[in-house]
Amino acid sequence: ALTVRLRTPASANPDIIKPDPAAASGFDVRPSDAGEIDWGLGLWPDEKMPELAKVPLDANEKMLRADHHLTVLDDTYGKRRLAGMASLNASDAVIPPSRFMLEVYEQMGLRAGVGRHVRLGLPHFDQIHRRAKLSPFYRVRPKTEDRPVRLAFFGTTRNNKGFAVLADAIEMLDVADRQRCHFLIRVAGNPWPFRKRLSRFPEVNLTGGYDPVLLYASAPEYDAAIMAHVWFENSPLVLLEHFHAGKFVIGPRLGGPVDWVIEPGTDAEHPLGNGLFFAGGDPAGLAAAISRVARGEVTLPSPEEIHRATTLVSYPEHVREVADLYADVCGIGGGATGEPSVSVVPGLMAATEVSKTS
């Protein structure tokens, strides 16, 4: 069925963006413009940005210390959680790709000895990594003294990815800091409300979704990356894609990314680090981190320095570790025979049955 939506009158839509009264002013720039260009793109009432909650910087630690959620109620969620843990405990090995998630499983009742942290490797990670090493700029730090620092956000418009947090942060930036930036944003989903909201800022280039081939070719387009998730990510592919590309990452101190990110000055061996943290769901914290980079208060490392500071594994290394784990739980080469099939669960995926005879 065809749905026709009539435009809301301006009087009934107080959030509409008013057309620029100086649209016919030619080349003149007024001090009051604050660097913005108003295209007069109106927001519909149902296009308001979601209000995402802020979480504390130590949310990971609070999650691991908490025990109230271990009291299972006789409801759908409680039964699902019990069934999920029973499934994991029936497995011979559970291999989440972040150490934080392994600790969460253990805190929620995973039996001792069954969990193992196995870092993720994927073929397109390797392609991105090799592309960085092949670049003549592999050992060159981004030089942003005489140009804007280029910041990328790759993701979706789903609330959990926190795109609304980035949109809020861009609006909060001091004009001078914002003009020292250029934002390359590639998001899948429905970006049109965000596009209208951010259309005032000429520093924002918002396009559609992306795929591994675009990632492979996009490394020269940005100096550092932004993540803004508002939930406990396990092992975000986008984070690892940026690190394999040799990029500094600004992101929430929330979930699995804490396993990888080293802030400047916290590691004697890698003094420049590989990223900055802010509290999840906190646009002001994200704006402050962006401003530090824009003002040159943070030295962006070269791709080589990012690679040296970051624990990354290749796809062949990942496959080898998983294959060794299969061999271990199957008793291959260890003398065990005639046992039934076993299961290895990566994260919360369903158990995969593996025949010992295969």
Stated pTM of the model? 0.85
* Angstrom distances, CA of residue 148 to CA of 177, 215, 345: 10, 21, 45
Helices (H) and strands (E) counted in the chain, each on its own, are 12, 9
- Res 19: pLDDT: 57
- Res 23: pLDDT: 59
Residue (of 108, 64, 71, 69) closest to 86 by Cα position:
108
**pLDDT interval class at 355 (50, 70, 90):** very low
**pLDDT interval class at 263 (50, 70, 90):** very high
Decide: 325 and 344 in contact? Cβ < 8 Å.
Answer: yes
**pLDDT interval class at 11 (50, 70, 90):** low
Residue (of 331, 352, 335) closest to 343 by Cα position:
352
Decide: 162 and 230 in contact? Cβ < 8 Å.
Answer: yes
Q: Is the pLDDT of residue 338 over 50?
A: no
* Angstrom distances, CA of residue 339 to CA of 235, 253, 324, 354: 33, 43, 18, 11
CB atoms within 10 A of CB 326: 18
Q: Is the pLDDT of residue 71 over 90?
A: no
Tokens matching residue 338: 């005639």
Q: What is the pLDDT of residues 168-179, one digit of tens each?
A: 999 999 999 999
Separation between Cα atoms, residue 311 and residue 223, nearest integer Å: 20
Supply the Cα-derived Rg of the chain in whole angstroms: 24
Separation between Cα atoms, residue 246 and residue 268, nearest integer Å: 20
Separation between Cα atoms, residue 349 and residue 95, nearest integer Å: 10
Taking the alpha carbons of 240, 268, 282, 150 in that order, is the dihedral positive or negative? negative
Separation between Cα atoms, residue 70 and residue 81, nearest integer Å: 10
Q: What is the DSSP string of 133-147?
A: HHSTTTT-----TTS
